[in-house]
Amino acid sequence: MNYFSSNFKLGILGGGQLGKMLLNDTRKFDIYTSVLDASNDAPCKIASNEFHLGDLMDYNTVYNFGKHVDVLTIEIENVNVDALEALEKEGIKVHPGSKTLRTIQNKAKQKLFYTDNNLPTAPFSRFAYTSEIKDAIDNGGLKLPFVWKSAQFGYDGTGVKIVKTIDDLDGLPNVECIAETLVPFKNELSVIVARSASGETTTFPVVEMEFHPEANQVEYVICPARIPETVAKKAEQVALETSKAFNHVGLLAVEMFQTKDDAILINEVAPRPHNSGHHTIESSYTSQFEQHLRAILGLPLGRTASKLGGVMVNLVGAEGYTGNVVYQNIEAILKMEGVTPHIYGKKQTRPFRKMGHVTIVNADLSEARRIAEEVKNTIKVISE
């Protein structure tokens, strides 16, 4: 099929920043795009060929949108899977597939998938309701501390809580959830796997993630991860096996723990471009976004090696500021060496909302990390 400067139409469910960055590459290749999002202010609106307003969780909206494209992909997991399944039956190519999304959307199903496929993950218990957890602790079936995770719709630190005492359960929503053994880990790692419709696979270099202590959001992504080669190889192997088990087409970001004794455990996965791969736009031969396009269209996959060391800093709304966004001191960071800001185009800021990111590239990774800290301390996302 001719994808370039042709009648081919790529559909994207979700119009956020991931879609916006994906559209940089569809523009580069002159691939026609149609985007569906619930917000009229979606970052994708200005860059897509067609923009449709609608609810991603509504069956008819997603089904009718998907009927008019040749290949359908996502930039967010929270979409109507029944509609995707119906489209697949009618011959529309949907990547990732409905079966994969159905498993990944629910954290309990996702964890069961790992155990069923002999993929390494932390031990867990599954509960229909949070209220059942107290009984399990009283009966000795569950030991403190553990990590509580809502089965549905958790992301970026929402729907996750470390439970150290019984009182920590107070105020949690009474929903389907899992209680996961708290893993003492050295590092949080991520590997992005690309798998094409023809079964060709590649992995991007392992990255390590440094987290914000309060917000449970990634502050820095560092590539390559500062870990032994043997651990990196193990992480890449686990990621490849995970992608194969899902029979996944497109990008799969596999987030993992490196334990104290260097075992690798899967934390969770995302079947799309991912925050831990943003640095690839500047630091890699092929960005994660271009690679996702290549994979879902069955084109040869690109080279994933890094040109330089890369560190990414998330730009999130500062605490105490809500309203029309202002990027304070952005000129100061533009003067720094190897610094590229990406502003997502969200006009309204609020505390901890992802508003953009900054990539720092340098032949010396420790220097890139130093500049990243300077960037973090200089730029502020505030409101008028």
In the predicted structure, residue 154 carries a pLDDT above the cut 90: no
Looking at residue 219, its pLDDT comes to: 87
Beta-bridge partner residues of 192: 253
pLDDT, mean of residues 296-309:
97
Looking at residue 217, its pLDDT comes to: 74
pLDDT, mean of residues 63-85:
97
Looking at residue 372, its pLDDT comes to: 97
What is the value of pTM for the model shown?
0.95
Looking at residue 1, its pLDDT comes to: 85
CATH code 3.40.50.360 for 185-383: no
- What pLDDT digit, counting tens, does each position of 215-260 carry? 667 889 999 999 999 999 999 999 999 999 999 999 999 999 999 9
3-state secondary structure of 126: strand
Binding residues for ATP: 107, 149, 180-183, 188, 267-268
Integer-rounded Cα radius of gyration of the chain: 21
Q: Which CATH architecture has domain 9-94?
A: 3-Layer(aba) Sandwich (3.40)
The candidate with the shortest Cα–Cα distance to 356, out of 43, 33, 30, 12, is 43
In the predicted structure, residue 187 carries a pLDDT above the cut 80: yes
Find out whether 131 and 137 touch, Cβ atoms under 8 Å.
no
Q: What CATH code is assigned to 123-181?
A: 3.30.1490.20
In the predicted structure, residue 76 carries a pLDDT above the cut 70: yes
Residue type, 281: I
Residue type, 313: V
Looking at residue 214, its pLDDT comes to: 72
Which are the contacts of 46, defined by CB distance < 8 A and separation ≥ 6? Answer: 345
- What pLDDT digit, counting tens, does each position of 88-131 carry? 999 999 999 999 999 999 999 999 999 999 999 999 999 999 99
- What pLDDT digit, counting tens, does each position of 251-300 carry? 999 999 999 999 999 999 999 999 999 999 999 999 999 999 999 999 99
Mean pLDDT of all residues in the chain? 95
Bond before 205 cis per omega within 30 degrees: no
Find out whether 253 and 155 touch, Cβ atoms under 8 Å.
no
Which are the contacts of 201, defined by CB distance < 8 A and separation ≥ 6? Answer: 193, 194, 195, 240, 243, 244, 301
Binding residues: 107, 149, 180-183, 188, 267-268
Task: Dig out the tokens for 374 from the structure.
Answer: 């300077």
**Lowest mean pLDDT segment, chosen from 1-15, 140-154, 320-334:** 140-154
In the predicted structure, residue 366 carries a pLDDT above the cut 70: yes
Looking at residue 117, its pLDDT comes to: 98
pLDDT band at 157 (very low <50, low <70, confident <90, very high): low
Parse the chain into domains and list their residue ranges.
9-94, 123-181, 185-383
Give dist(CA 354, CA 271) in Å, integer.
Answer: 19
Beta-bridge partner residues of 358: 313, 341
Task: Dig out the tokens for 217 from the structure.
Answer: 């959001």
% of the chain beyond a pLDDT of 70: 98
Give dist(CA 309, CA 381) in Å, integer.
Answer: 26
In the predicted structure, residue 197 carries a pLDDT above the cut 90: no
Give dist(CA 253, CA 209) in Å, integer.
Answer: 13
In the predicted structure, residue 155 carries a pLDDT above the cut 70: no
